[in-house]
Amino acid sequence: MARERRFGSVSMELPDAIGGYVLEDAEALGRGAMGMVLKAKHENQSKIAAIKIRPITANDNPGMIERIERDAQALTKLHHQNVLQCFDAGKEGDYLFLALEFIEGDTLAELIEREGGKLEEKRALEILYDCAMGLVAVESAEFVHRDIKPRSIFIADTGEAKLSDISLGIRFEDAEAAHKPGSIGGAAAFISPEQAQGGIRLDIRSDIYTLGAAAYSMLSGTAPFSNDNSEELSDMIVNTEPTALESLNSGVSDKVLNIIKKAMHKNPDKRYQHAEEFAIAIEEAMYGQSRPVTKKLTKPKGNIKTREDDVPEPSLPKPLLVFGILAILLAIIYLIVNN
């Protein structure tokens, strides 16, 4: 049985239950590309979930629906404390659904607003590090998030940050921008130059840019770019540098400024090349070079230098080395004299 669900002025006919979850309220928690988000409870368990649900329409491409189903199932296998967990996913009747972890807390956008527009550097780094670690898991699962922004980052009541809203139907192997040049996907002010250009194969470096843009917002109180005209906004993202962060917040350290500048470089080849490399740089800014690499980090794929690579090979202490050389020289002199 279906009934009307609302989010603001938007309404949608949705079933009372799907995937074993009973949808609880007529008023939705939110609305996005995957339809509406509603709080739900499992029929046979006490598990509370946030259900993303979307009707399948005649205009939907069957191939895209299949890819969404495939990626939704893959998403249920992605388990990380800094990624909103997906309990279940699939197609039921004329609807696609995701059953996601329900957490009490705020989005990063709400936290920034509550804190007066800017976060202290220490708190911003904690959130950024959590998100970078979540991005390590996203990269390992061969997803491209494509939609990192302050409203897709959740801050649990524990203070831990979690990535949400991972785009479905778009993996590394088919990750050409899912929009045409001139159109904007994701939260427009935070997309990468590659997304703004359109038609370019996206990889984790695009997500690194958008997470850097979210960090810029945390510390500046504003999005990197702003323009009501989508074409002009795209041009700004591709060709213009954002207002210098240090001019908007003089309290940001040079180390953090450099991290964000590198993450947001226009050229993907000059950004951090892997999420783990980004996380290591953030951790160094938080704790300094003397702190060992956290056990949560695994050796990155590819030729990425980590602090472990900087550890020199064991060598003899200098005094012992000098003594050894002198002993060898004396032995040679003794042999020469006695011969």
Beta carbons of 259 and 214 less than 8 angstroms apart: no
Reported as a single tens digit per residue, the pLDDT across 32-68 is 656 778 788 888 877 888 888 878 877 777 777 777 7
Q: What is the pLDDT of residue 32?
A: 62
And the tokens for 133? 């670690």
User: Is 235 among the residues known to form the active site?
Assistant: no
Residues 6+ apart with CB under 8 A from 58: none
Question: Which residue type does 27 have?
Answer: E
Domains in the chain with CATH codes? 17-101 (3.30.200.20), 105-310 (1.10.510.10)
Cβ neighbours of residue 312 under 8 Å, at least 6 residues apart? none
pLDDT computed for residue 320 by the predictor: 55
**Amino acid letter at 164?**
S
pLDDT tens-digit map of 65-98 = 777 777 777 778 888 999 988 888 878 888 888 8
Question: 266-290, pLDDT tens digit by residue?
Answer: 999 999 999 999 999 999 999 875 3
22, two tokens: 């009973």
Nearest Cα to 23, choosing from 45, 48, 44? Answer: 48
Q: What is the pLDDT of residues 221-260, one digit of tens each?
A: 999 998 888 899 999 999 999 999 999 999 999 999 999 9
Identify the CA nearest to 94 among candidates 50, 40, 58: 58
Q: Which of 147, 235, 254, 310 is catalytic?
A: 147
Predicted structure pTM score:
0.76
Question: Which range among 89-98, 136-145, 166-175 shows the weakest confidence by mean pLDDT?
Answer: 166-175
pLDDT tens for 5-32 read: 656 566 677 778 888 888 877 666 766 6
